[in-house]
Amino acid sequence: MPSVGSSLKPVKRMPAPKTLPRIAATDFIRDLDISQDELLALLDLTHQLKANPGRFATALAGRYITLLFEKPSLRTRFTFELAIKQLGGDAVLAVGPIADREPLKDVARNFDRWTNAIVARTFSQQTIDDLAHWSSVPVINALSDRFHPCQALADVFTLQERFGDVRGLKLAFVGDGNNVAHSLMLASLRLGMSFSLATPVGYEPDAEIVAQAEALAAVAGGQLVITNNAREAVDGAQAVYTDVWASMGQEHEKEKRLADFAPYQVNAGLFQHAAPEAIFLHCLPAKRGEEVHDDVIESSQSAVFDQAENRLHVQKALLLMLLG
């Protein structure tokens, strides 16, 4: 596969702001909780933070943030902990089911007396919504069954790094119409990209989120295509993305999913239909030999570890805009 090095374009940097941009919403529990202007400001701030990691090193001094994780985590836990600490704050980790011993509304009102924000990685979006309802401090969705908004921020930032202006790019997602697909669809289309999703019959994305995405595409000028044909989705794309076929909590469906998704593996044969400068994306962890083959994820066109690193930088920007 050819290298993408020659296709990189410089990203225009804005001057360092005299004051931090802010997010008007109290919480970040869905992708559309931040406005178009706030999204652009967050991405620009991320570029500045990545270029100057020591900037705002004391911005969260004296702030303590709850990390509430029902699901195991590598990237989300490490990048949020590091982001908080690199901004001068500290994190308190709680692992396991949230409301086994007492009502969720009580848990939320305890944490908001002790800490300045709650970052939650949960099985259910309803848990995130309830935390936000009962908490008086900001709640950040670090993953739920419906959305993965922090991942999508890192993904579109990675695309900016690679291509400069992302307007007009085509992003193809091959696999389950899941939380990652939902957030990526919303984030990319509102930035003027086109988004194609190829998924087996019965695994399509949520109809309500598709309707939101279509409205964003109409405004920003991109195109949304949902198909059952992987080659159609990938054809001419500048980025090809996939995710595991069976997420945590879906283990009982694994054998059926392996059979249903087998034609949707991202391998060299499928990837060759993308644009010559295309990059490969995956939110990780990857199941090599299932949703992706090593000849793609280990190629020079793979940007998966850039994505993983960029979780740190976009989450620093998000924390600053919510709490700074």
**Active-site residues: which are they?**
121, 148, 151, 243, 283, 311
Amino acid, single-letter form, for residue 245: W
**Chain centre distance of CA 94:** 22
DSSP conformational letter for 119: E
Evaluate whether 244 touches 285 at the Cβ level (below 8 Å). Answer: yes
DSSP conformational letter for 302: B
Token pair listed for 38:
């706030």
236 φ/ψ angles, rounded to the nearest 5 degrees: 75, 5
Evaluate whether 163 touches 7 at the Cβ level (below 8 Å). Answer: yes
Count of other CB atoms within 10 angstroms of residue 288: 12
Nearest Cα residue to 166 out of 218, 94, 221, 129: 221
Count of other CB atoms within 10 angstroms of residue 155: 28
Token pair listed for 154:
């890192």
Spatial distance between the Cα atoms of 280 and 304, rounded to a whole number of angstroms: 7
Spatial distance between the Cα atoms of 159 and 131, rounded to a whole number of angstroms: 32
Token look-up 């469906």 returns 253
Spatial distance between the Cα atoms of 137 and 323, rounded to a whole number of angstroms: 10
Query: Which ranges constitute the DSSP H helices of the chain?
Result: 36-51, 75-86, 104-114, 125-134, 149-163, 179-190, 207-220, 230-234, 254-261, 268-271, 294-297, 304-323
Token pair listed for 105:
């509304």
